Structure 1
Amino acid sequence: MSTSAAVPLRLASLVASNSDILAALGLYGQVVAVDSHSDAPGLETARRLGLDLDIDVQALQEAAPDLVLASLSVPGQDRVVAQVQAAGLPTLVLDPVTLSQVMADIRLVGERLGVPERAEAVVRAFQDELRDLRPTLPRPPRVVVEWWPRPIIAATCDSWVTDLLSELGAVNAFAQRPGRSTPLTLEEVQDAQPDLIVCSWCGAKKLRPEVIEARGLGVPVVAIHESGLGRPGPRLIEGARQLSEALKNLNI
């Protein structure tokens, strides 16, 4: 894709993580349509397309994007991607699992959109700060990152959360469970012997760590908005900052 095009590409994003990437790359001015969850700065004039799992494809077509950034990281998004592709819209689909794949996707988007240097700078800044955030701990704390309360759903092996925790000197208490996430019983959470539970409910208007505390496990709970842990993009560093502080405060 030429970097010398006279007219900037018109871009659309169907999930908040992709919108965060575009904003970090300084391309928010080219974004003409986004899902309703996207809250990155600079997107105020972009057309809203509805929830990420209920994208208004006709409205997306009317926005006439040159490229649509989609994702499979949101469960059920494959149906939306199929509809967008059936409508004949050029689509770039991201589906990172590991933290290194998240960084690779930032580089990929930067390359496709003609700003590889910006992408590399974003990745390097992320990696440098993450390295500095690692606290000194007597042992690796066991952490549960909870995506939903009823039923309890937590991040498992195939999640950037596992890598993020590892970079901070901690472990995902369910790293041995296959898949990206899993429903859990209260007994299974207790048996995992967590030192910390993170309330990061996806799509929740309000985080309520007191709900987790009321289960009576006696484990410290910290609330981190899903924008800092649930989105595979540059804002994972926000979650890493909060996790680092929470880990420092553990009495282990």
Structure 2
Amino acid sequence: MSHPLRLASLVASNSDILAALGAASWVVAVDHHSDAPGLEAAVRVGLDLDIDVAALAATRPDLVLASLSVPGQERVVQRVQAAGLNVMVLDPLSVTDTLADIDSIGHAIGRSAQAADVIVELTTALDALHRIFPVPPRVLVEWWPRPIIAATRDSWVTDLLSRLGAVNALAERAGRSSPLTLEEVRAARPDLIVCSWCGAKRLRPELIEARGLGVPVVAIHESGLGRPGPRLLDGARQLSAALGALAST
């Protein structure tokens, strides 16, 4: 039996994918945010945007997994490549892209069969959450409160909401995310606002409610919405429940 690859993951979404593929124990270096099970033996090499490249290189990874889903990671990728390390860079803009990334990672690490299983399970579970509303609810997913930053057209959030029968309230706004004024939030006419602050120690939906928009707010941890990987299913289930509650009021 060949020795498993030595893997490094620079973002939590990729770590979640590796764990779902049964390869967490192969990870020798990982960013500080990753919390997938099985990473206990991996060396922590810094925040996703502040990777200690020397510490990363010292773990001698065969393959480093990065992702442009974290804005600004392209600068980290350049430093890792300059160190002579083999880097696989993902750049998902949709749930479909995310499923393709799971397949690509599975192929790269010799876990294609496991990847196929994960893709089928995710697709089936997401399909089961789809519902038809008389009018698709408009949902705004907020990544940060000050300034307000929310998911826009080119985010996997748009695809995820569509699969649930809803729409991204900012689907006509270009880019992956955008800073917004309170008036721009109001103009987006959301029926539901999701508090999914990235990197926050505590979600405080009451701060969003205090803006006086009169829109229901639900809190969903960023691990369920901010990471294009298998844990999007967790976020989708919570979103589906919130949409169901919204429809029943």
TM-score, length-scaled by structure 2: 0.98
Which residue of structure 2 lines up, in the alignment, with residue 119 of structure 1?
A: 115
* Distance in 1 between residues matched to 2:95 and 2:237, nearest whole Å: 15
* Distance in 2 between residues matched to 1:62 and 1:188, nearest whole Å: 47
> Runs in 1 of length 4+ with deviation above 6 angstroms?
none
Among candidates 98, 101, 113, match of residue 102 of structure 1: 98
Which residue of structure 1 lines up, in the alignment, with residue 82 of structure 2?
A: 86
The CA deviation at 1:136 is 4.1
Which residue of structure 1 lines up, in the alignment, with residue 53 of structure 2?
A: 57
- Point out where structure 2 has 5 or more consecutive residues left out of the alignment: none
* Distance in 2 between residues matched to 1:66 and 1:183, nearest whole Å: 38
Letter in 2 for 1:102: T
Letter in 1 for 2:73: Q
* Distance in 1 between residues matched to 2:191 and 2:108, nearest whole Å: 42
Among candidates 176, 195, 199, match of residue 203 of structure 1: 199
Give per-residue Cα distances to partners, 1:61-90, cap 9 Å, x unaligned: 111111100111111101100000000011
Letter in 2 for 1:238: D
Give per-residue Cα distances to partners, 1:115-142, cap 9 Å, x unaligned: 1110011011001000111234232000
Matches within 5 A, 1:1-252: 6-251=2-247
Letter in 1 for 2:237: R
TM-score, length-scaled by structure 1: 0.97
The CA deviation at 1:44 is 1.0
Identity across the alignment (%): 70
Tell me how large the CA RMSD over aligned residues is. 0.9
* Distance in 2 between residues matched to 1:115 and 1:67, nearest whole Å: 14
* Distance in 2 between residues matched to 1:138 and 1:72, nearest whole Å: 36
The CA deviation at 1:45 is 1.1
Letter in 1 for 2:223: S
Give per-residue Cα distances to partners, 1:190-238, cap 9 Å, x unaligned: 1111110000011111100000000001100000011000001111001
* Distance in 2 between residues matched to 1:126 and 1:202, nearest whole Å: 23
CA contact (8 A) 1:137 1:248 kept: no
Number of matched pairs: 248
Give per-residue Cα distances to partners, 1:95-153, cap 9 Å, x unaligned: 11111111100000001111111001101100100011123423200000000101111
CA contact (8 A) 1:135 1:247 kept: no
Letter in 2 for 1:197: I
- Point out where structure 1 has 5 or more consecutive residues left out of the alignment: none
